[in-house]
Chains A and B, each alone.
Chain A
Amino acid sequence: MEIVLSAAIGTLAASGIWLLLRPRTFQVIVGLCLLSYAVNLFIFVMGRITLGAPPIMPRGGFINPAAYADPLPQALVLTAIVISFATTALFLVVLIASRGLTGTDHVDGQEREP
């Protein structure tokens, strides 16, 4: 599992970064989305892969932490998902406004000079 998941993170990140370096605003937004998947997964797996043991406790009594998935990366990623959603929305609106203002969807607001 580990090897598959790390390869997946790598692929997502590579696709995201490639798009980040493209000249069109839409490409950059899709790139940021892909990159945020990669980063979220990366943070998430810092708690290692645990199968079938979500961090949901019985009520009361002794608890063996080793029997559950690490809740901390999950809480962090939950926050990260929300924030990346907010930034995506903001970028999208900047994209729309910039297209309206400049008439082009190039990231610099003007087409590349030949």
Chain B
Amino acid sequence: MIEENLLLILVGLPFAAAVAASTVRATAHGAAAWVSGILLTTGLAILALLRAPISDGQVIRGTLRWVPSLGLNLTFRMDGFVWMFVTLVFAIGILVLIYARYYLSKADPVPRFYAFLLAFTGAMTGVLTSGNILMLVVFWELTSILSFLLIGYWHQGQAARDGARMSLIVTGLGGLCLLVAMLLMGQIVGSYDLDRVLAAGDLVRVDPLYPLVLGLFLLGCFTKSAQMPFHFWLPGAMAAPTPVSAFLHSATMVKAGVFLLVRFSPVLGQTELWFFAVTGTGMLTLVLGSVIALFRHDLKGLLAYSTISHLGLITALAGIGSNGAILAAMFHIVNHAVFKASLFMAAGIIDHETGTRDMRRLSGLIRFMPVTGALAIVASAAMAGVPLLNGFISKEMFFAETADWHNGTWLDNSLPYLATIAGIFAVAYSLRFIATVFFGPEATDLPKVPHEPPSLMRRPVELLVLVCLIVGVLPGLTLGPTLNLAARSVLGADLPYKDIAIWHGLNLPLAMSLVALGAGVALYALLGRRIADGPEGPPLLHRLRAQRVFEKLLLLLTWKLPRIVHRTIGTERLQPQLRLIVLLSIAAGLATLWGSLRLAPVPLATDLNPAFALMWAVGAACAVGAAWLAKYHRFASVVLLGGAGAVTCLTFAWASAPDLAVTQLLVEIVTTVLLLLGLRWLPKRREEIAEDKLLPARMRRIRDVVIAVAAGSGLAGIAYVMMTWPLIPNVGDWFLRNAYSEGGGTNVVNVILVDFRAFDTFGEITVLAIVGVTVFALLRRFRPMPESIMLDEEQTGLDDRTLADALLVPSLLMRWMFPVMIMLAAYLFFRGHDLPGGGFAAGVTVSIAFLLQYLAHDVRWIEARLTVLPIRWMGVGLLVAGATGLGAFLFGYPFLTMHARYVDIPLIGQVPAATALIFDAGVFSLVVGATVLMLIAIAHQSLRTTRMRERDSGTAPGKEAA
């Protein structure tokens, strides 16, 4: 139980530290470092506590219940291999923190750096400890994202941005492949639990999908571990600050790929396909990486390619997959992390103190920085595989595996030779690093005068180099138990203990090591001079840059191809888009209904009333007329549109829908007024547009008529078939039966709106409020066209008095109508629950009452007498409706549960008093607010032009209204 909690704390710790570090002031470098360091040290202490149960062969599991109702848990597990890896991450993490404290300059936003670094540590810990393969992918992608942020830390530089983007695209795409692989694997196994997947290797390997799973899985691992041909992002990532390169891009993150290879080798491995794919790629990367490294002039570039090459070595071992190979892979993971981190730090110190990383300029530094030089020499000797250092032993184990393990294929037979060649180049590039940088004549043209760095900046390097030495001399005592533990957790608990020793006698691996050492020195002695004069990269190969290929591909995919597609099938014009939508709708209707749409055996039929037919003859004529006249006779079109609306409204009344009829009628009025107000801002169109007479325009219109008729007749057909099928019993019956008993109202439509489906209505009035505010906001910034500001021809030439008296009698009538309409609104509102009416109808009525006043009088006249605050009406309405809904919580009911009862009021009698009425009051208030807001906003535009005219004519009265 304690272990379980410790594991969960361990996983959460880096994230907590990241949050803590990000809250520190941007200039508090020390504080950020201390916070991060202390929390990571706590993590190491927890790991030390966990060591004892892990040594007993226990697997610690911790589960956080996340969404228990869906069975989703966050499961973490830790065995020997994971323990070793997490410890490595935390230990290197602390050293990198100390180093970064002195590496970053005062001007850098350091807390952000620490926060990213710690969050990365957390993500990496998540990858390692995930007990669920999908969760593993999530953490995996998180490491990619944080790597992106860290590479781009100095985002002012183009190289940093490019490198960051490239690494994100490559590793992110790899992560997606991995996700698909994990999903498939989970489907095959029947569980996403890591333990069950690891135990189901036999099941996965015989599945027909195995090659696909393996391919996708390897894509994920290879992109992350920078295997050829996906290696190119890693040199680009060297634009990151050196602590990041040391931590992410050599010691830990890139090892996530090989971690997964080793972890899943019992599941996916042991097949020929696995061997060729994994070992083949690994060997290719090992050899080519070491060759390219020798020819790089940039210090970090050399180290980056060396890292790629070493990752290839580990991958090759994972591909071989024998017990010894897995052990050697784990050993080399640790060793490489130790010596490469120290080398990166040393390279960072050199860069920091001299101002350049170009090996052609650096020379003779041993005289200026003897301690750093000595440390770097030891570390690169470890990299080269010199005896008595840690790199030698794991490389020796690798040589032994290549020489001793056999499956008889051509690749297997060539392994020892390839390994030796890679060893030769590794010795040569290590030698080049030392010889050019530290020896030779003193450099003269360095940007800075080199000297030793602050001692604390060197401390992490010293510690790491010490580890190189100790492990190199006493491998069995120091790392032996841990490695055996780790190997057992992957390969099975019955694995015999393997003693790791330096001396195995005079055998083939030792001979290979000696050949590599000798030939490497000779190679450098021969080539050393010429490399410095050559291009960046090996002869011939340097022309082939995967990076450039990638960039060309990216340009093609994200810029050129989309533009071609856009040019050929895209359009910015609205008409083709709408036409496409209509055609697609017709096609969708045809595709789904073709053949299945048929008349009912006994069609329903209501007797035709001639008056109804006549009414619709008028209605149809209105609709067609509105369509016909909308271009050149807008006013007539609006009138005809109103006619069609009126007929629709009458149809509702005719067919037993009084609520709809009332609402439609009111909305019709408001819509017509809105359209009339809008007409003023449209351009005059008295003359025919010349083009309209031309053939293309006629053809377009004919085509659109065909489309419209097709769609219309289709809709008519569907409507007819639907209408004549007998009605099947549906949820409407339930509403009818329960409206009175449950909702306390006899008008079922209203009860549905304010009680049964009140949440829908709540959403609907929210939409209305949003539209109101949007209209208001849009019109605030609106500037009318100059030509619209002019007075109409009818108005010019008349004096002000005639204008003021223009609508004298109607305006007087409208003023008198105001109280009547308010009364009507109240009537509609209160009867709503039982009879046609309701909050919406009442709200529209009130806004029409206001509107009439605006129509009857000057805007200034009305606003001097009547203050409407539409925003408040809207706000109050929304709040009342919401509060009614929340009120239900007080009585332990879900949101918007209504209560209904009748109360006796003296003199008036029985009155329905449902909480739905309060909700409806909210609807009412909001509808008033939104409608009036829109109308006033549009009506005010004419005020704006009046003001503009007054200003232009220079006779502006002092008063500035509204």
Residues of A participating in the B interface, judged by any CB pair closer than 8 Å: 1-27, 29-31, 33-34, 37-38, 40-42, 44-60, 63, 65, 68-75, 77-79, 81-83, 85-90, 92-97, 99-101, 103-105, 107-108, 112, 114
Contact = CB atoms under 8 A, between A and B. Distances in A.
B87 interface: no
A75 B760 CA distance: 10
B778 A97 contact: yes
A75 to B, nearest CB: 4
Contacts of A10: 712-713, 715-717, 719
* Smallest CB-CB A-B distances: 5 pairs: A14-B712, A10-B716, A65-B733, A18-B708, A6-B720
Nearest to A40: B648
B683 to A, nearest CB: 6
B897 to A, nearest CB: 18
Given A17-B582, A56-B834, A82-B667, A47 B727 contact: yes
Contacts of B647: 8
Contact of B619 (A8, A73, A77): A8
Contacts of B567: none
Nearest to B786: A103
Question: Which of A58, A63, A81 is the most central at the interface, judged by chain B CB atoms within 10 Å of its CB?
Answer: A81
Given A47-B732, A78-B753, A114-B691, A20 B582 contact: yes
28 contacts: A1-B605, A1-B606, A2-B605, A2-B724, A6-B716, A30-B626, A30-B641, A31-B630, A33-B641, A42-B718, A48-B723, A57-B740, A65-B729, A65-B733, A65-B736, A65-B737, A71-B739, A71-B748, A71-B752, A78-B840, A82-B840, A89-B671, A90-B771, A93-B778, A93-B934, A99-B681, A107-B575, A112-B691
A15 B779 contact: no
B608 A21 contact: no
B65 interface: no
Given A41-B651, A42-B719, A44-B657, A88 B671 contact: yes
A98 B375 CA distance: 71
Contacts of B752: 71-72, 75
Interface string B451-479: 00000000000000000000000000000
Nearest to A70: B732
B612 A4 contact: yes
B531 interface: no
B783 A100 contact: yes
Nearest to B934: A89
A85 B840 CA distance: 12
Contacts of B612: 1, 4
A18 B704 contact: yes
B708 A17 contact: yes
B781 interface: yes
B746 A59 contact: yes
Contacts of A60: 740-741
B59 interface: no
Contacts of B623: 11-12, 15-16, 34, 37
B764 A90 contact: no
B660 interface: yes
Contact of B681 (A18, A49, A100): A100
A44 B655 contact: yes
B749 A75 contact: yes
B775 A93 contact: yes
B674 A89 contact: yes
A56 to B, nearest CB: 5
Interface string B610-638: 00110010011001101100110010011
Contacts of B739: 55, 57, 71
B711 A13 contact: yes
A8 B651 CA distance: 11
B361 interface: no
A17 B715 CA distance: 12
A8 B705 CA distance: 17
B645 interface: yes
A34 B771 CA distance: 21
B582 A96 contact: no
A34 B582 CA distance: 15
Contact of A108 (B573, B645, B782): B573
A58 B574 CA distance: 52
A57 to B, nearest CB: 5
Contact of A75 (B674, B716, B757): B757
Interface string B578-621: 11001000000000000000000001111111001100100110
Nearest to B751: A71
A25 B713 CA distance: 25
B229 interface: no
A74 B659 contact: yes
Interface residues of B, number: 116
A66 to B, nearest CB: 8
A99 B717 CA distance: 39
A72 B289 CA distance: 71
Nearest to B614: A4
A5 B719 contact: yes
B608 A1 contact: yes
Contacts of B670: 85
B775 A90 contact: yes
A90 to B, nearest CB: 5
B652 interface: yes
B719 A45 contact: yes
Given A30-B627, A48-B604, A42 B715 contact: yes
A2 B613 CA distance: 10
Contacts of A19: 626-627, 630
B627 A6 contact: no
B575 A21 contact: yes
B802 interface: no
B716 A21 contact: no
B785 interface: yes
Nearest to B581: A20
A16 B704 CA distance: 11
B582 A54 contact: no
Given A65-B732, A72-B730, A78-B663, A37 B683 contact: no
B209 to A, nearest CB: 46
Contacts of A53: 656
A107 to B, nearest CB: 4
A75 B707 CA distance: 31
B768 interface: yes
A86 B770 CA distance: 9
B707 A79 contact: no
Contacts of A70: 727, 730, 732
B782 A100 contact: yes
A48 to B, nearest CB: 5
B270 interface: no
Contacts of B862: none
A44 B652 contact: yes
Contact of B630 (A26, A40, A55, A87): A26
B722 interface: yes
Interface in B743-798: 746-749, 752-753, 757, 760-761, 764, 767-768, 771, 774-775, 778-779, 781-785
Contacts of A71: 732, 735-736, 739, 748-749, 752
B572 A49 contact: no
Interface string B685-725: 00000010000000000001101110111011111101110
B683 A99 contact: yes
Given A52-B656, A63-B740, 7 more contacts: A14-B708, A26-B682, A72-B732, A79-B764, A97-B782, A107-B573, A112-B691
B821 interface: no
A111 B735 CA distance: 52
Given A2-B720, A22-B631, A81-B664, A41 B648 contact: yes
Nearest to A9: B719
Given A10-B715, A86-B768, A104 B671 contact: no
Contacts of A82: 663, 667, 764, 768, 840, 927
Given A6-B716, A45-B723, A52-B656, A93 B938 contact: yes
Nearest to B571: A108
